[in-house]
C-alpha cells in the first residue's frame, strides 16, 4: 500500500505582476497554493489552499528562479499568485 504522502504532491501555481523579490522581504503576504490530487482523492482532499505569512528570506537566483521563505517553507516566486 502506497503512503498517501507519496501519491499527493504540492504544485504551487502563482504569478506576481510588477513585484520584485526584494520588495517582498519583511512583508506579510497571502497567496494561493494548488495541489495535484489524484482523481480518487479529490472528494477527500482540497486541491488548493490560501496561505499567508511573513516573508522571512529571499533567494535571488542567477537563472531567475527566485524563492521566498514564508513560515519555514520555500516557494518559487514565479509560480505564486499573491492575493
Query: Could you tell me the three cell numbers for 6?
Result: 507519496
Instruction: Quick: pLDDT tens for 18-77.
Output: 557 778 889 999 988 877 888 888 888 888 889 999 999 988 888 878 888 998 999 887
Q: Could you tell me the residue range of the domain that residue 31 belongs to?
A: 4-79
Instruction: Quick: pLDDT tens for 7-29.
Output: 333 443 334 445 577 788 899 99
> Global pTM?
0.63
Alpha-helical regions (H) of the chain: 4-7, 21-24
Amino acid at each position: 500500500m502506497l503512503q498517501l504522502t507519496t501519491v499527493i504532491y504540492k504544485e504551487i501555481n502563482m504569478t506576481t505582476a510588477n513585484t520584485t523579490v526584494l520588495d517582498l522581504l519583511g512583508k506579510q503576504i497571502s497567496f494561493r497554493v494548488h495541489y495535484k490530487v489524484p482523481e480518487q482523492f479529490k472528494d477527500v482532499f482540497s486541491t488548493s489552499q490560501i496561505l499567508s505569512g511573513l516573508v522571512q528570506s529571499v533567494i535571488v537566483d542567477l537563472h531567475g528562479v527566485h524563492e521566498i521563505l514564508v513560515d519555514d517553507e520555500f516557494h518559487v516566486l514565479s509560480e505564486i499568485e499573491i492575493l
